[in-house]
Copies of this chain bind each other. A is one copy, B any other.
């Protein structure tokens, strides 16, 4: 690994000049510039990122905190984040918290503000207090999928109108003619899908049905969770013609449950999800869902974080709202049979 110094010696200049050439700073004579460039090429010189970061006082990476990168939604988001970062010459560190606040805190303590200039937080079950502390230590934090655009969390965030998403999903079912609709809501405790469910309730009420009376079950936000919940829901309410789900994974589970119960989807049971992950397109029947602008959210999150890194005061507490979620009708929903 050649260093700046070695390049400088070979080119017969000082490190400062090499640095200037490489970063297009200051004024450098064309002749020296050429000599320097040749030396760089000859030695195969590559800048030492941590050293540069140290000298510049800014960290070379961004951290993405997720509960588990193996959750099918996160990789799509992480990919978009990495693409955005790459364009601006930064690197992505993945932090799996296992949904454990301790692990999350340990990560924040270790890298926020030193290795990582800032941190992107997906639903990773982190303590807000820890995030605040992280901010105070000089590493901006951006919440990546805030559910309520009109109800800011007090931390900079990218918000997606999930209330609207829930509403669109419910409305689709209602417009198809469904009246007996069951709801499966992810992770009650963290309340993470509350806005989606509220959107569902609002649509039901608007249609003259009493949303609060619609059967509802809280379940883990996984395929298995959706599967089990659907079986239970259907056991208790065999007359349901449709299942609303606050996320795609449980919706996929709901379809499997229906299959196992001998209920053809969508003929005997309609199923709808929220998010539109890749898998939604690939299931049979393909899942009707409300698509959330994942890539846009990732890009906004990166841009916001970068702004915060540059000018912490200016962007403090800012809420970036993505474009609206949109209904994607596929094969898992249809009119109820007569």
State the A residues within 8 Å of B (CB): 1, 44, 46-51, 53-54, 59-61, 68-72, 74-76, 78-79, 82-83, 86, 91-96, 109-111, 113-115, 137-138, 223, 252-253, 256, 259-260, 278-279, 282, 284
A137 to B3, CA, bound (A): 12
Residues of chain B within 8 A (CB-CB) of A72 are 72, 75
Residues of chain B within 8 A (CB-CB) of A71 are 75
A114 to B114, CA, bound (A): 16
Which among B79, B91, B95, B256 is the interface contact of A70 at CB below 8 angstroms? B79
A91 to B93, CA, bound (A): 7
The reply to whether B70 and A278 form a contact with Cβ atoms under 8 Å apart is yes
The reply to whether A114 and B82 form a contact with Cβ atoms under 8 Å apart is no
The reply to whether B75 and A114 form a contact with Cβ atoms under 8 Å apart is no
Residues of chain B within 8 A (CB-CB) of A61 are 61, 93, 115
Residues of chain B within 8 A (CB-CB) of A70 are 75-76, 78-79, 278
Given A61-B61, A72-B75, output 8 extra A-B contacts at Cβ < 8 Å: A46-B110, A49-B110, A49-B111, A61-B115, A70-B79, A82-B95, A83-B96, A259-B284
**A92 nearest CB neighbor, chain B only:** B94
Q: How many copies does the complex hold?
A: 2
Interface-central residue, A86, A253, A260, by most chain B CB under 10 Å = A86
Residues of chain B within 8 A (CB-CB) of A113 are 1, 46
A114 to B4, CA, bound (A): 13
Given the known interface contacts A51-B54, A60-B50, A79-B96, the answer about A1 and B91 at a Cβ–Cβ threshold of 8 Å is no
The reply to whether A114 and B282 form a contact with Cβ atoms under 8 Å apart is no
> In the complex, what's the smallest C-beta–C-beta distance from A258 to chain B, in angstroms?
10
> In the complex, what's the smallest C-beta–C-beta distance from A177 to chain B, in angstroms?
27
Interface-central residue, A59, A82, A260, by most chain B CB under 10 Å = A82
**A79 nearest CB neighbor, chain B only:** B70
The reply to whether B91 and A92 form a contact with Cβ atoms under 8 Å apart is no
> In the complex, what's the smallest C-beta–C-beta distance from A132 to chain B, in angstroms?
13
Which among B44, B75, B95 is the interface contact of A75 at CB below 8 angstroms? B75
> In the complex, what's the smallest C-beta–C-beta distance from A14 to chain B, in angstroms?
20
The reply to whether A1 and B94 form a contact with Cβ atoms under 8 Å apart is no
The reply to whether A115 and B252 form a contact with Cβ atoms under 8 Å apart is no
A138 to B86, CA, bound (A): 23
Which among B54, B75, B96, B138 is the interface contact of A50 at CB below 8 angstroms? B54
**A61 nearest CB neighbor, chain B only:** B93
Residues of chain B within 8 A (CB-CB) of A259 are 284
Which among B54, B78, B110, B256 is the interface contact of A69 at CB below 8 angstroms? B78
The reply to whether B94 and A82 form a contact with Cβ atoms under 8 Å apart is yes
Given the known interface contacts A79-B69, A94-B82, A278-B70, the answer about A50 and B47 at a Cβ–Cβ threshold of 8 Å is no
A215 to B179, CA, bound (A): 50
**A252 nearest CB neighbor, chain B only:** B282
A115 to B259, CA, bound (A): 50
A91 to B279, CA, bound (A): 29
**A47 nearest CB neighbor, chain B only:** B114
Residues of chain B within 8 A (CB-CB) of A1 are 113-114, 137-138
